[in-house]
Amino acid sequence: MRINYFQIYLLVFLISLLPKILIIIYFPSIIEGNDQETYLRVAKNILSGCGIAGGPDNESCNPTSMGPKVPGYPIMLAFVMLLTDSSYFFLKIFNALTISFSIIYFLRTLKTLINSKFLFFTIGTILSLSPITLPWSRFILTEPISISI
């Protein structure tokens, strides 16, 4: 049986995505008291019409500082929350999908350099199960996006 590159892409994508989903389900992260809470608060502010301002519980939108952080990630979170009814689970799935698609994109780039399909699949599997890519999907942080870039 001959295996084509599309089948390798699909298999590597599944090898990358399924363990991340299992980690998201069985080892959820604690959101209170860290950067996740800040990103989610700002994303909720954007959805409530306050922009990057005080919490949606406030009667008026008071500007708050995110420090040196640019609100690009909270804007993206707000967009995903708008599509998924503010579900934290789907935000984490979005992070897992981002990493998995970036591995496929890297493999498509690598395809011109590697002639062996076995080596191609092996590199994809190593990237998919790497300790760098596996655990970060369970957090709502910028690290999964940074890893995928």
pLDDT digits (tens, 9 = 90+) for 64-85: 556 556 678 888 888 899 888 8
What per-residue confidence (pLDDT) applies to 68? 59
C-alpha gyration radius of the chain: 18
Q: Give the helix ranges, DSSP H, for 49-139.
A: 72-84, 88-110, 117-128
The lowest-confidence range among 9-13, 31-35, 50-54 is 50-54
The per-residue pLDDT of the chain, averaged, comes to 82
- Read off φ and ψ for residue 109, nearest 5 degrees: -70, -40
Q: What is the pTM of this model?
A: 0.82
